[in-house]
Amino acid sequence: MKNIRGPLKENQNRISFLLNIVDSLYEKKYKIDNFRSVLQNLIGLLDLKFAVFIKGDLGYYIDNEKFFYISKKIKLEKYKAFLKKLLKHEGMVVINNCSKEYRVFENLGGDYINYSFFFLKLTKDMYILGSREVPFSQREITLLSKVKTFIKKSIEQDIKEDNLLEKAYTDTLTGLYNRRFFEKVIPMELEKAKRYKYPVSVIFMDIDNFKLLNDLEGHLAGDIFLKMFGNLIKDVIRKSDIPIRIGGDEFLLFLPFTRKKDAENLAYKIRKILMDNKDLLCEGRRCDYIDISFGILEVDKDNTPETILSKADFLMYQAKKFKKEKS
């Protein structure tokens, strides 16, 4: 009895190990490198010649000796078209001793042999495929089915968690990130910048005379302005930039790969758009008294989120004070 259950228990342990890896993938957006460990373990578990992960416009190949991104768009589109057609009505297909029609993948594994393939559909644009030179047994097919089911559940759970995190970290009025996001995520962003030695700059923004807008035109007008200002920010920043509503009429832009001079240029651009479009931002209400003040700094390696906020806040009030003295 021990001998019969031995291989089964060993398989269960290996599946558990593999699934723990999947479960621990935490960059949430399913960047391709997150699945490298999964592919490596599938290769070991099933003695594969190679494995491939495809998500959207990204592809990743791995075998026992090498790994690389599938960078040729035409080739990737060909693979995706084939997979979409093959897995149109199925979540998994296993084909032993493939015929010529599967030569679409032969250049991945070297010289063409009558490989056996498995194809897994994880989401509408996410696939894993693997190949080897001997057929897959029924037990291995069952194993693959369990792996696919667990990975799909893991992805679905991650998507749910992402949606919850997005709600927790998003300011409902402006659609920008909130103070909670700043406190939770910016420390990790600072560590990343420090590790990879790239510059980061910060723009701290405060809307001048915003209280006057609320007092004269009402809080609804103030909310409309903040919402429109949030849209303005989203329109002018890069994808890598992080826009945060710190609270009230205070905003912060966290700008990776950015020197102070470039941050200053962005701040001037934001102010110019604001000054040129007050009627739009205030929906026709009178708000010519509205302006914006900035505190801009380039982050050094010893800065923390707290010191960044404190320094940027100080610089912003210095700018506000200078503006008042000048007027």
- Give dist(CA 122, CA 158) in Å, integer: 13
pLDDT at 2: 41
pLDDT at 15: 54
pLDDT at 162: 64
Question: Does residue 289 sit in helix, strand or coil?
Answer: coil
pLDDT at 260: 95
Q: Where are the beta strands (DSSP E) in the chain?
A: 50-55, 58-62, 67-69, 92-95, 116-123, 126-132, 200-208, 242-247, 250-256, 291-298
The helices-and-strands tally (H runs, E runs) of the chain is: 11, 10
pLDDT of the chain, 327 residues: tens digit per residue: 344 455 555 555 555 555 544 444 333 344 445 677 788 888 988 999 889 988 887 888 888 888 888 878 888 888 899 899 999 989 999 988 876 556 666 555 555 556 789 999 988 888 999 988 899 999 999 989 988 888 887 777 766 766 666 678 889 899 999 998 899 889 988 988 888 888 999 999 999 999 999 899 889 989 999 999 999 999 999 888 999 999 999 999 999 999 999 999 999 999 999 999 888 888 778 888 999 999 999 998 788 899 999 999 999 999 888 877 776
Place of tokens 């009505």: 89
Superfamily holding 2-158: GAF domain (3.30.450.40)
- Give dist(CA 30, CA 22) in Å, integer: 11
Which has the closest alpha carbon to 170: 307, 241, 240, 162?
162
Give residue limits of the domains in the chain. Answer: 2-158, 169-322
- Judge contact between 143 and 45, C-beta under 8 A: yes
Q: Model's pTM, two decimal places?
A: 0.56
- Is there a common fold for 2-158 and 169-322? no
CA angle 219, 221, 225 (to 5 degrees): 115
CATH 3.30.70.270 is right for the domain spanning 169-322: yes
